A and B are shown apart, each in its own frame.
Chain A
Amino acid sequence: MQYWDPRIEATPKEDLQKMQYRLLKSLVCRLYSFSPFYHDRMKKQKVHPDDIRELSDVHKLPFMFKKDLRDSYPNKIFTATPEELVRYHVSSGTTGKPTVVGYTQNDVDNWSTSVARGLSSMGLGRGDVIQVSYGYGLFTGGLGLHYGAERIGATVLPTSVGNTERQIELMQDLDVTAIACTPSYLLHIGEVAEKMGVNIKKDTLLRTGILGAEPWTENMRTRIENWLGIKAYDIYGTSELSGPMFTECAEQNGFHVWSDLALVEVIDPKTEEPLEAGEKGELTITMLQKEALPMIRYRIGDISSISEEVCPCGRTSPRINRIQGRVDDMLIIRGINVFPSQVEYTLMTIPEVGQHFQIVVERTGALDDMLVRVELTKESFSDKITDLMKIRQMVEHRLRNALNVAVNVELVEPGSLPRFEGKSKKVIDKRSL
Chain B
Amino acid sequence: MDTKKYVIKQISVFSENRPGRLASVAKALGEEKVNILAFSIAEASGFGVIRALVDQPEKAHKKLSSLGYNVAFTDVIAVQMKDKPGGLYEIAKVLGDAGINIEYSYAYSGKKAAVLILRVDQVDEAIEKISESGATLLEHTVFH
A positions within 8 Å CB-CB of B: 376-378, 381-385, 388-389, 392, 410-416
- Which B1-46 residues have C-beta < 8 A from chain A? 10, 12, 14-16, 42-46
Q: Place the interface of chain B in its size category.
A: 20 to 34
Tell whether, in the assembled complex, residue A384 and residue B103 are in contact, meaning their CB atoms are under 8 Å apart: yes
Enumerate chain B residues within 8 angstroms of A385, measured Cβ to Cβ: 42-44, 49, 104
Tell whether, in the assembled complex, residue A411 and residue B49 are in contact, meaning their CB atoms are under 8 Å apart: no
B105 at the interface (CB under 8 A from A): no
Enumerate chain A residues within 8 angstroms of B45, measured Cβ to Cβ: 392, 410
Tell whether, in the assembled complex, residue A388 and residue B46 are in contact, meaning their CB atoms are under 8 Å apart: no
Enumerate chain A residues within 8 angstroms of B12, measured Cβ to Cβ: 381, 383
Task: For A383, give its contact among B15, B46, B68, B72 (CB under 8 Å).
Answer: B72
**Given A376-B14, A383-B12 in contact, is the A412-B70 Cβ separation under 8 Å?**
no
A326 to B71, CA, bound (A): 42
Enumerate chain B residues within 8 angstroms of A413, measured Cβ to Cβ: 14-16, 68-70
Contact with A along B58-77 (1 / 0, CB 8 A): 00000001001111101000
**Given A413-B14, A413-B16, A416-B16 in contact, is the A381-B47 Cβ separation under 8 Å?**
no
**Given A413-B69, A414-B68, A415-B68 in contact, is the A381-B14 Cβ separation under 8 Å?**
yes
Tell whether, in the assembled complex, residue A383 and residue B69 are in contact, meaning their CB atoms are under 8 Å apart: no
A152 to B133, CA, bound (A): 83
Tell whether, in the assembled complex, residue A383 and residue B47 are in contact, meaning their CB atoms are under 8 Å apart: no
Tell whether, in the assembled complex, residue B16 and residue A383 are in contact, meaning their CB atoms are under 8 Å apart: no
Task: For A411, give its contact among B46, B71, B72, B103 (CB under 8 Å).
Answer: B46
Chain B: minimal CB distance from A97 (Å): 31
A410 to B15, CA, bound (A): 12
Tell whether, in the assembled complex, residue A410 and residue B70 are in contact, meaning their CB atoms are under 8 Å apart: no
**Smallest Cβ-Cβ distance to B12: which chain A residue:** A383
Chain B: minimal CB distance from A18 (Å): 62
CB-based A-B contact count at 8 angstroms: 53
Tell whether, in the assembled complex, residue B51 and residue A383 are in contact, meaning their CB atoms are under 8 Å apart: yes
Chain A: minimal CB distance from B90 (Å): 26
A402 to B16, CA, bound (A): 26
Task: For A410, give its contact among B42, B46, B49, B74 (CB under 8 Å).
Answer: B46
Enumerate chain A residues within 8 angstroms of B46, measured Cβ to Cβ: 410-412
A-B contact pairs, 14 of them (CB 8 A): A376-B14, A381-B71, A383-B12, A383-B51, A384-B103, A384-B104, A392-B44, A411-B46, A411-B47, A412-B16, A412-B46, A413-B68, A414-B68, A416-B16
Chain B: minimal CB distance from A15 (Å): 62
A147 to B49, CA, bound (A): 54
A411 to B47, CA, bound (A): 7
Chain B: minimal CB distance from A359 (Å): 15
A279 to B96, CA, bound (A): 76
Enumerate chain B residues within 8 angstroms of A416, measured Cβ to Cβ: 16, 68
Enumerate chain B residues within 8 angstroms of A377, measured Cβ to Cβ: 70
Tell whether, in the assembled complex, residue A381 and residue B16 are in contact, meaning their CB atoms are under 8 Å apart: no
A413 to B69, CA, bound (A): 7
**Smallest Cβ-Cβ distance to A375: which chain B residue:** B70
**Given A376-B70, A378-B70 in contact, is the A388-B16 Cβ separation under 8 Å?**
no
**Smallest Cβ-Cβ distance to A413: which chain B residue:** B16
A416 to B49, CA, bound (A): 16
Enumerate chain A residues within 8 angstroms of B42, measured Cβ to Cβ: 385
A377 to B70, CA, bound (A): 8
Task: For A388, give its contact among B47, B69, B74 (CB under 8 Å).
Answer: B47
**Smallest Cβ-Cβ distance to A379: which chain B residue:** B70
* Contacts beyond the supplied A383-B119, A392-B44: 5 A-B pairs with Cβ under 8 Å: A385-B42, A388-B47, A414-B70, A415-B68, A416-B68
Most buried by B among A376, A384, A415, A416: A384
Chain B: minimal CB distance from A396 (Å): 11
Tell whether, in the assembled complex, residue A410 and residue B103 are in contact, meaning their CB atoms are under 8 Å apart: no
A410 to B47, CA, bound (A): 8
Tell whether, in the assembled complex, residue A389 and residue B44 are in contact, meaning their CB atoms are under 8 Å apart: yes
Chain A: minimal CB distance from B28 (Å): 13
Task: For A382, give its contact among B51, B72, B104 (CB under 8 Å).
Answer: B72
**Given A388-B44, A412-B47 in contact, is the A381-B70 Cβ separation under 8 Å?**
yes
Q: Which 10 A-B pairs give the minimum distances between C-beta atoms?
A: A381-B70, A383-B12, A383-B74, A415-B68, A410-B46, A385-B44, A411-B47, A385-B42, A381-B14, A378-B70
Chain A: minimal CB distance from B38 (Å): 15
Enumerate chain B residues within 8 angstroms of A415, measured Cβ to Cβ: 68
A376 to B70, CA, bound (A): 8
A384 to B103, CA, bound (A): 8
Enumerate chain A residues within 8 angstroms of B72, measured Cβ to Cβ: 381-383
